[in-house]
Each structure stands twice: as C-alpha cells, then as structure tokens.
Amino acid sequence: MERLLADLRVAVRRVRKRIGFTVVAVLSLALGIGANTAIFSLVDAILLRRAPLPQADRVAEIYQKQPDFPFSPFSYPDYRDFRDATRSVFSQVSISRYTAASRDMGDHVETMMGELVNGDYFKLLGVRPVLGRLLGPEDDVSPGGHAVIVISYDYWQRALNGDPHAVGKALRLAGRDYTVVGVVPKSYVGTMAGIAPSFYGSVQMVNQIEGGGTDELTARGNHSSFLKARLAPGATMAQARAVAARFTADMQARYPKEWSGSSLVVVPTTEIAVNPLLDSVVVPAAAALMIVVGLVLLVACANLASFLLAQARDRQRDIAIRLAIGATRRALVQQLLTESLLLAIIGGVAGVLLSRIALGALLGANLPLPLPIWLDVSLDARVLTFAIVASAVAGLLFGLVPALQATRPAVIEWIKNENAGGGPGRRLTMRNTLVVGQVAVSLLLLVTAALFLRSLQAQMQVDPGFGKAPAAMVWFTIPADKFDSTRRVAVLDEIERRSAALPGVRAVGVTDNILLNPLSQQSKRINVAGFTPPKGQVGFDIDYAAADSGFFDAAGVTILRGRNFTTADGPGAPRVAIINEVLAQRFWPNRDAIGQSFSSDTTTFRVIGIARNTKVRSLGEAPRGFIFGAYKQQFSTNPMLIARTDGNAERTTVRLLGVLRETSPDLYVLQMKTLSSHLAAMMLPARLGAIAFTLFAGLALALAVLGVYGVVSYAVARRTREMGIRLAVGASPTGIVRLLMREGMTLVVVGAAIGLALGMAATRLLEALLFGVRTGDPLTFVGAPLLLLAVGAVASLLPARRASRIDPARVLKTE
C-alpha cells in the first residue's frame, strides 16, 4: 500500500507537470468512454433492464401469424376463446392493449398513455403494489362496470406529489371519473421498453376509455391486444404449441373470414428482447452501435499508447538509471501503469458526465415520434460498473505496452548514449503499428457512416405520394356514449367547416387512418370475379382506410381518373371505393377499373376513381394495393383531421385544437402534429443511425489524424540534427517535406488498405439496416479512402513543413 501511494503521488505530479498531454488524454478518453457509457445506457434501458418476471422460462407471448404480418396482436374475442381452449397447458393467460385517454384537469386537458389489462395480468407478472392494490379478477367481470385504475410510480410522484392518500382519489379520464386503487412499484414501467403507461385500467372499460363506435370486446377483426401466458405445472412449451395448433385449426373452421391462412406463434419470453417484430432490427442495431463505440475507444487508447511510447522513449535514460541502482522492472511497470490508470479514471469521470449530458439532450429533443418514448437512463449500478470497467480496461490498454517497452533492460546503452535511436530507426515499430491500426479502424467507421448517410439520402428521395404541402393533423375521438350517430356526423361537419375558415387553410379532410401509420394498419379481405385467392385463404387482404372528399386535396393524394367522393355517397347509398394504380393494374390489367366492382363479406363496392400510388406501410416497400372507402359509409369516431395550409403548419395545428375546443368540450384529443413530422417519424431511425455513425466515425478520424500528426512530429523532434545536416549539405526544403511526409503517408496508406478490406467484410452485416444502397456501394468505397488520405496528408504536411524551416547553423551549433 505504501508503494501504491508513493506511485500515486508520482503519477499526480507527472499529470500536473504534463498539463498539455493530460488535457489531450483526458479529452480523448472522455469522448471514448462517454460514447460507450451513453450507448450502453440506451442498450441497458431498451434491452437489459426488465422488471423481474417469476419463472420467466415458463412464460410465453402468443401472436397470430398472418400472411403479411408475422406477429399480429389478438382481438379480445379471440383471446377469450384461446384462454378457454388452452386451460390444460396454461394456468394464466393475460391480455393487454395500449391506449390513450384525456384527463380533465379543469383548466386544461392532459393526454395520458395507458394500458388496459385483464384480471390475471399483474398476477402473471408477479408485480406487487407499493400502495393500495392492483387490478384483479374482480375488476374483469362486466363490460363498462369497472371504473378503477392503477397508476404508475412515476405518475404518482409527478402528478400527485407522492401523496400517501392517493388511493381512493378520482381522476377524470375520457369524461368519466376513475378511482385510483393502487400504485405499481418504481421498478415496473411496463413490459415494452420505451413505452411507460401512466395508468392501468380494466380491459372491460375499453369502449368507455377509447370512445369508439365499435364494441372492441366483440370485434373479432380488431387485432390490438397482446397476450402473455404462463405454463401450467408439468406442461411444456412443446405441448403448448401443439394445443395452439389444434386451436388454430378449430378457429379456421369456425371463423374462416378472420382465420384463413393464419396460425399461432408461441414465443418464450426468454427469447424476446423487445418485441418479436422489432427484435430483428433493434438487436443488430444495438450490437452495431456497441461495436462502433468500442472501436472509437480502442482508437483513443491506441492514440494515447502511441503518445506514451514516445514519452517512454524520452524517459528511457531515466528508467535505465533507476534499473541500474536497483529498481525492479515490476516496480517501474507498476508506477507507469498507475499513471495510466489515473488518467483513465479522470477520463472516465469526465466521460460519465459527458454521457449524461448527451443522453439528456437526446431524450429531451423534440423528436417526431408517433408515441411518447420514456427510457430510464439513470446512472444505476450496472451502468456505473460498465463505466468503471471501461475506464480500467482503457487504462490497461493504452498503458501496458508503453510501460513494458520503456522498462526493457538495455541499461548500459541508454546510460552511455541518451540520443540512441535518434535516426530513422526501424520502420516497423509498436508506435507505427498502433497508428496503422487507428487508420484502419477509422476507415472502417468512415465506410459505415457513409453507407448510413447514403441510406438516409435514399430514403429522403423516396416520394411517399402525399404530404408535400404544409399540413396540420389532429387525431381525436367523438365519444359514442355522448354523441348519437346523427350528432357525430353533424359535429364532424361543423369541425371541418370551421377548420376550412381558418386563416391560411386551403383544404380540409378526414380519414380514419393516415397512410404510413406504424401504430395502426387496416385491411379489407376482398374478392374479385375471375381471381382465386391465395391457397388457404378466402380472399385478398388489401390495406384500407376511410376518407372523405376533402382528404385527397388536404393530404396531397392525387386522383388520376374517375371522380372523388360526394355528399351522395352517404350511409344509404351503394358502397363506393377509390383504389390506387397498383390495385387497378392487379385486378383489371387490360381494361378500365372504373365502374368495376369487388366484394368484401356480403358488401359489394363499386370503383369510382383511381388514385396515384402512395407508400402504405413503409418507405422501402414495393408498391402495395390500397382502397379508400367513403367516410360517411363507414363512419369512425376516431377521425384524423387534416388541414393543408399555405402558412405555418404548426400554428395551424394549434388553431385546429382551438376549433375542437370551441365545437365541443367532450371531444378527446389523441394526437396533434404536422404531416411533415408524421413523415419524418418514418425516417427517424435512419436519421439517428446516420448521425450517430457519422459522429463516431468523425471522432475516430480525428483521433487517427492526431496519431499521424504525432508520429511525424515525433520524427521531426528526434531527427532534428539529421534534418539540419541534410539542409547544410544541400538538401532542398521540398525534399525534406517529401521525406517526412513519406513516413506519415506510408502509415496512412497501409492503414487505409487494411481498413478497406475490413470495411468490405464488415458492411455485409449491416445490409438489413440499410435502405436503397448496396453494401459494396462504389461511391462509398472510393470517397471514404480519398477523404482519409486527404486529411492524413494534411496531418503529415504540417510538421514536415515545420522541419523544412530548420536553421542548419543553429542546429549544428547546438550539437
């Protein structure tokens, strides 16, 4: 301990003495460790941090596999049938669905994210209340008869100030009072990362909270509920899958319309990271980010090791003397490692602070997200342990090799000649090897960043087919229990009339489901004369939305042929539809589709118009068929109001909200945004990926350039006498520059060649994360090396030019 304290005192003195190097080292480590800690915090919050689930290996999630949707949620009637049919293998089956409800605060309305669950939900998850009780079987009996809620710990603290008497209080949600019966513990923030409900209500209250015109408890085609099931004692997953297969066959026979071509997927929770549908993207993206920031830290460590090697060479005479008078190599290595670890600790502390600032800025940014995202990125024991381990590993990585190199026992040589090794020396040194590695990793990250930027560019060039003009959108609910069918239509007409009169508004329309909506996808199963449905299905599943006549102009969807909807297309009129070009070409390739008909269930639709193709589910999809139905023929109590404007779309959004408030205080606002932010949400993953990879690649490039600059600068410092003699005997300054630049550029070229090979191999793993660009993109694999060579040349040129201005007389006189 005495020796360690003595080494620490020496380390502190050297850190204070070499203030310039200390600042560079701490900044490099802070950026490397900070990036690693920030990304690990996100990975921890999304993938690792979970509320403990008792016997998690005996719990499974159940999904309905459909022809074009591999992990579809359930409808409530299907859940009920599944629960009754699988009692032999599942002791508990829980259902949950996400919802939003407006809380009336008197002077304003707050939209709360919620989750509606059945009586087995909390029991299955093993969650215990921190206050009061949780929902149980007694709250899951009769539709509309359980006006009770449980609130989250965060909402209890934030909105109710942690009131110990919160149980029994009433919160007014969706125009009705709900009694708070309990508070979930702080550790439980929902089962899907990023979505943290503020309240939990009974699924029996879904119609009252969502206020739709459809009875969600009987709508077998409404797939919006998630199922979890716990195996009964003695049952196995294989038995559960067999029972699920028998259940599927029974449902296909009983309900061919909803179940033809469908099956069940039983996925153990231990095999799920976030959600089966998202895991194929989220997990590789998280792994890629962790690898990238790990490489950045490795480059930072290599850079510092390179500088320490240079300093160790300058200290070798001092170290040789210590060895000569009896110091052990082990003691000297320990002293040098203490210095490195001290720098790593300081850099680690600064890195943790930087990661907190970066995460705060990211989570506080106004991102165009379809749902509010909440992630717990607090500095818990796991994140702190990661930061400590990363700092310690970094200290060892950049300190061990210089310490071993500096203490090699060549005592007599270094005591006799302190200028030993001042010439060109060996080409292949440890320091040069480190710089080559830095350059190679930097090019690998540059190639990766360039591919993501090219992918983002490709997405931005995709024409979604709508939303080019500024437009505002408000999604709201017309409560079915407060407005009868006649009043609903009248209220919506009044809202559209008032909205159209707003300053700057040029067109107003409504739809029940906007295009490119990741939260909701609707379809109709249709049949067309002369066409046979796919094997095992009773019809063709086609994406669908209801819209009124104003929607097309407001959203920017072009009707190419035929006519728009009119007031004549009302509830009692024959059903009509506008289809897109893809659907028209698919079913009526050699004739005009206008006037043709198709059937859905027992209803016949006549095609009255052909709309231009639009993107439906994602920007990268192949053209998909789409059907627009007349809104008044299939009225929805959850309309999306769209207003195209020639002014500020955000200001128009606020004005639309004012129109809703003026029309009726009983309308519930679910979401308000601009159409441009709606489209931006589809590009957000690509945008964030491009920004992150570009930042990390830029950081690695800067560190690599600093390494090249250091190598050439050190060569200049060590070979000052040689350069003076060369200039004295007639060498030109240009020749000196070429000589020294050759040393730096050789490292850059070798590193670039290695990095290019690594890039070609590694980028194939990113293919699933890219859009519209090949992993072997020529522009990327030409542009990135040229950029690296250019900045490498500048880094070599600056110290080389300084050497060419050496005064030979002064150098020789000094010698």
Percent helix, percent strand, percent coil in the chain, to nearest 5: 50, 15, 30
pLDDT of residue 815: 56
pLDDT of residue 602: 85
Residue range 206-219: average pLDDT?
81
Phi first, then psi, for residue 205 (nearest 5°) are -100, 15
| Residue 412 neighbours by CB distance under 10 Å | 10
Q: What is the pLDDT of residues 77-134, one digit of tens each?
A: 999 999 999 999 999 999 999 988 878 776 566 778 899 999 999 999 999 999 999 9
Residue range 321-342: average pLDDT?
82
Q: How many alpha carbons lie under 13 Å from residue 354 in its C-beta half-sphere?
A: 20
Element at 683 (helix H, strand E): helix 675-718
Q: From residue 695, how far is each of 12, 394, 448, 614 by CA, in Å?
A: 32, 20, 11, 34
Distance spanning both ends of the chain, measured CA to CA? 45
pLDDT above 60: residue 428: no
CB 625 within 8 A of CB 582: yes
At CA 522, angle to CA 521 and CA 525, rounded to 5? 135
- The whole-angstrom separation of Cα 359 and Cα 361 is 5
pLDDT of residue 800: 86
Q: What is the pLDDT of residues 240-262, one digit of tens each?
A: 999 999 999 999 999 888 888 88
Q: 361: Cβ–Cβ under 8 A, 6 or more apart, which residues?
A: none
H helices of 719-777, in order, are 720-728, 733-762
Phi first, then psi, for residue 275 (nearest 5°) are -160, 140
Determine the distance from the C-alpha atom of residue 550 to the mean position of all C-alpha atoms in its chain, rounded to a whole number: 35
CB 289 within 8 A of CB 452: no
What are the b/e assignments for 563-587, b being 16+ CB within 10 Å?
ebbeeebeeeeebbbbbbbbbbbbb
| SS3 call for 670 | strand
pLDDT of residue 574: 94
Q: What is the pLDDT of residues 59-76, one digit of tens each?
A: 999 999 887 788 889 999
Token readout for 391 is: 């700092």
Q: What is the pLDDT of residues 665-682, one digit of tens each?
A: 888 787 889 999 999 888
- 330 pLDDT band, cuts 50/70/90, is confident
CB 33 within 8 A of CB 347: yes
Q: What is the pLDDT of residues 196-205, one digit of tens each?
A: 899 999 999 9
Q: What is the pLDDT of residues 739-760, one digit of tens each?
A: 888 888 998 999 999 999 998 8
In whole angstroms, how large is the CA radius of gyration of the chain? 34
- 312 pLDDT band, cuts 50/70/90, is low
What are the b/e assignments for 697-708, b being 16+ CB within 10 Å?
bebbbbbbbbbb
| Residue 480 neighbours by CB distance under 10 Å | 18
Q: Is 498 left (phi over 0), alpha (psi -120 to 50) or beta?
A: alpha
Q: What is the pLDDT of residues 139-190, one digit of tens each?
A: 999 999 999 999 999 999 999 999 999 999 999 888 789 999 999 998 888 8
Q: What is the pLDDT of residues 570-619, one digit of tens each?
A: 998 999 999 999 999 999 998 999 999 999 988 999 999 999 999 998 88
Q: From residue 306, how far is each of 410, 437, 444, 799 by CA, in Å?
A: 21, 11, 20, 17
pLDDT of residue 725: 85
What is the share, in percent, of the chain residues with pLDDT greater than 90? 43
pLDDT above 50: residue 422: no
pLDDT of residue 435: 86
Q: Is 685 exposed, middle or buried (0-12, 13-18, 19+ CB in 10 A)?
A: middle
Give the chain's mean pLDDT.
Answer: 87
pLDDT of residue 212: 62
| SS3 call for 668 | strand
pLDDT above 50: residue 347: yes
Query: Residue 609 pairs with which residues in a beta bridge?
Result: 562, 578
Q: What is the pLDDT of residues 614-660, one digit of tens each?
A: 999 888 888 999 999 999 999 988 899 999 999 899 999 999 999 99
Q: What is the pLDDT of residues 756-809, one digit of tens each?
A: 999 888 888 888 778 888 888 899 999 999 999 999 899 888 888 888 888 777
pLDDT above 70: residue 413: no
- The whole-angstrom separation of Cα 726 and Cα 806 is 11
CB 177 within 8 A of CB 171: yes
Q: 457: Cβ–Cβ under 8 A, 6 or more apart, which residues?
A: none
- 423 pLDDT band, cuts 50/70/90, is very low
Q: 350: Cβ–Cβ under 8 A, 6 or more apart, which residues?
A: 26, 27, 29, 30, 33, 34
- The whole-angstrom separation of Cα 804 and Cα 811 is 13
- The whole-angstrom separation of Cα 579 and Cα 587 is 11
pLDDT of residue 483: 85
CB 79 within 8 A of CB 62: no
pLDDT above 80: residue 811: no
- The whole-angstrom separation of Cα 193 and Cα 183 is 19
pLDDT above 70: residue 371: no
pTM: 0.80
Q: Is 504 left (phi over 0), alpha (psi -120 to 50) or beta?
A: left
Determine the distance from the C-alpha atom of residue 82 to the mean position of all C-alpha atoms in its chain, rounded to a whole number: 33
Q: Where in the chain are the domains?
A: 1-51+275-420, 68-261, 471-681
Beta pairing class for 148-151 and 176-183: parallel
- The whole-angstrom separation of Cα 720 and Cα 709 is 16
Among 450, 479, 331, smallest CA distance to 759 is for 450
Q: Is 650 exposed, middle or buried (0-12, 13-18, 19+ CB in 10 A)?
A: middle
pLDDT of residue 256: 85
CB 500 within 8 A of CB 655: no
Residue range 210-239: average pLDDT?
87
Q: From residue 459, how far is each of 10, 462, 608, 771 by CA, in Å?
A: 56, 5, 32, 7
- The whole-angstrom separation of Cα 724 and Cα 434 is 29
pLDDT above 90: residue 534: no
Phi first, then psi, for residue 424 (nearest 5°) are -60, -35
- The whole-angstrom separation of Cα 341 and Cα 324 is 26
pLDDT above 80: residue 813: no
Determine the distance from the C-alpha atom of residue 662 to the mean position of all C-alpha atoms in its chain, rounded to a whole number: 38
| SS3 call for 652 | helix
- Altogether, the residues listed in the chain come to a count of 815
CB 514 within 8 A of CB 473: yes
Token readout for 327 is: 């110091």
CB 85 within 8 A of CB 250: yes
- The whole-angstrom separation of Cα 120 and Cα 145 is 17
